[in-house]
Amino acid sequence: MNKPLSIQEKANNFEVRAKESAGREGGMDVDLIIAAYKRHMKARGYAPKTLDCYAFGLKQFTAYLRVVPITDLRQVTREIINDYHASVMALDLATESKAIRIRAVKRLFEYLTETHRLLINPAEGIVEISRKHRPIGTVLTTNEMKLLLDQPNLSTAIGIRDRAVMELLYSTGIRSEEMLSLHVYDIDIKERIVYVKKAKGGRQRVVPMSEAAARYVKEYIDKIRPRHARKHPKERRLFLTHEGHPLTWNAIRVQIDGYRRNAGIKKSVGLHVFRRTCATHMLLNGADIRYVQKLLGHKNLKTTQQYTKVMPVDVKQMHDKTHPNRGEGLKSGG
């Protein structure tokens, strides 16, 4: 029986096939080269959410090339990239969605020139949407957050799991991919601590969680997870589907969007909204911005300072004193 290939071995196989494609007369097949690039990203350890975003952005670019029509990446010129850039900017999309589409294409051609498949990068010089000029995005009020947190049906296993997920995201401000990567032993319920080991940029950190988050996570671990893990008892991921597989970004996103609609919230609520809302609420309640920086795992303070754009704040206190969901949970009317 053949031993399954590792991610790196699979990536290498795609690299070989892509180079063969590049060496044949007719140039580089779009689908094969992009597949090789995605394998390359996965082998390099890119976060699942980043892989999903780039895959979607490249899918849109591939669709655009077919309309041109182009099947060989060597035929892509600066003019074609400029036209694609203009078409993306003209779309009625959120600023971040446009940025992802453009960034995915820029990174693809950087990869092709760095691996010597192309001599000239047609995307070089294309201006990405600067993060510092992007709007902060959706932030929920405390009342909206309470409405959202109250939506899961706590008489069901999925409802308890989803409440635990949302409470944890809002309380700690961890990224969605960090939450999905958590193992059971990364949670210390007694000390109300979360060990974020698979963090962005490899910057591991320890973050506190509220009493409300700890309570719901404990209920999930004690009552629900053992049931979900029956088919896969060796699975160590904290949050599982009812079939025992690790919970995915798309699965929980769909669940949360349903809760948003049921709560009557008109704003778009993605998983990152919990992180953004956590930081903003803490700053509005007087948290020291450097504490929020450490909580969120930001390398640069400037990244954290974007949350102060919501309104001026007087930075004074720490997590347990400032987070609106401390203690027994949110109260209506905020």
Q: Cite the active site residues.
A: 175, 200, 272, 275, 298, 307
280/165 Cα distance (integer angstroms): 19
Residue 258 DSSP code: H
98/84 Cα distance (integer angstroms): 11
Nearest to 298 by CA among 283, 312, 313: 283
- Three-class SS state of 1: coil
Nearest to 151 by CA among 258, 271, 281, 277: 258
Structure tokens at 148: 């959202």
44/107 Cα distance (integer angstroms): 14
Residue 317 DSSP code: B
Give Cβ neighbours of residue 97 (< 8 Å, ≥ 6 apart).
Answer: none
